[in-house]
């Protein structure tokens, strides 16, 4: 189950796959997919099931079918490192995806820009849309609300009987929203929210405000 929120008079849908749809602009925002990471782990002997690398593409296809976005904007760290066997899967996914693709460069995006350009992908350092600033790293800039990634935010929750959960989340502060990592096997960073922050955790295929 998704949650709809409003930021600066614009409507956004937070989806339990970890993506966010900007309704007015028809833009699907996705951060920190880290494609190729599973193949990288397998290459060095990690016992990661081979079928796991298809999960990101299945989720992306589901989101595109659901929202039919004009643009899919990746907020950095699309590919984990250098080109490996998964690049062919990525090329195939691009070829059958009807949406325009934009990549905002992240610290892991070390593949030559020419490779993305050959696939028709626009690669940029940041994107300004009205009073929104889209980046990979969290950034504060006067007059703009920042949509970003990089942190892989999560939140620790405590329940009865000393139960503890660490859940990925959309982390919203006064002038910023940090998206969770979309990719499988990415890890998370536990945030320490203030009273003014809004936290939307992902659990049991739901987005829940806590």
DSSP letters, 70-112, are SEEEE-S--B-SS--THHHHHHHHHHT--SEEEEE--TT--S-
d(CA 60, CA 158): 32
Question: What's the pLDDT score for residue 108?
Answer: 87
Residue 47 has pLDDT above 90, yes or no: no
Question: What's the pLDDT score for residue 39?
Answer: 53
Residue 183 has pLDDT above 70, yes or no: yes
Instruction: Find where tokens 């081979």 sit.
Output: 50
User: Do the beta carbons of residue 106 and residue 35 sit within 8 Å?
Assistant: no
pLDDT band at 43 (very low <50, low <70, confident <90, very high): low
Residue 185 or residue 148, greater confidence: 148
Mean pLDDT of the chain: 90
Cα separation values, 62 from 79, 89, 117, 194, Å? 20, 16, 25, 34
Give the total number of structural domains in the chain: 1
d(CA 60, CA 17): 9
Chain center to CA of 143: 24
Residue 50 has pLDDT above 80, yes or no: no
Question: What's the pLDDT score for residue 144?
Answer: 98
Residue 8 has pLDDT above 60, yes or no: yes
Question: What's the pLDDT score for residue 169?
Answer: 97
How much is the pTM? 0.92
Looking at residue 180, the DSSP 8-state letter turns out to be: P
Residue 200 three-state SS: strand
Residue 40 three-state SS: helix
Residue 42 has pLDDT above 60, yes or no: no
Per the structure, the complete domain to which residue 127 belongs is given by 3-209
The CATH code of the domain that includes 153 is 3.60.21
The residue among 135, 205, 185 whose CA lies nearest residue 34 is 185
CA-CA-CA-CA torsion sign (196, 155, 200, 157): negative
Kindly report, residue by residue over 106-144, the tens digit of the pLDDT. Answer: 998 889 999 999 999 999 999 999 999 999 999 999 999
The DSSP string of 55-81 is: HHHHHHHHHHHHH--SEEEE-S--B-S
């Amino acid at each position: 189950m998704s949650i709809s929120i409003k930021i600066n008079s614009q409507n956004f849908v937070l989806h339990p796959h970890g993506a966010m749809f900007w309704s007015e602009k028809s833009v699907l925002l996705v951060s920190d997919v880290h494609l190729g990471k599973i193949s990288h782990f397998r290459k060095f002997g990690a016992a990661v099931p081979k079928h796991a690398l298809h999960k990101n593409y299945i989720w992306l296809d589901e989101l595109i079918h659901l929202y039919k976005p004009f643009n899919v904007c990746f907020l950095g760290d699309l590919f984990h490192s250098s080109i490996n066997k998964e690049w062919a899967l990525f090329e195939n996914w691009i070829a059958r995806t009807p949406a325009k693709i934009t990549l905002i460069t992240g610290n892991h995006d070390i593949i030559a820009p020419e490779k993305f350009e050959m696939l028709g992908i626009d690669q940029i350092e940041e994107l300004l849309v009205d009073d929104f600033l889209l980046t990979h790293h969290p950034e504060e800039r006067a007059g703009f609300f920042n949509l970003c990634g990089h942190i892989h935010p999560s939140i620790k929750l405590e329940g009865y009987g000393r139960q503890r959960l660490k859940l990925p989340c959309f982390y919203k502060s006064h002038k910023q929203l940090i998206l969770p990592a979309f990719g499988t096997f990415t890890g998370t960073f536990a945030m320490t929210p203030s009273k003014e922050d809004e936290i939307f955790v992902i659990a049991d295929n739901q987005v829940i405000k806590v």
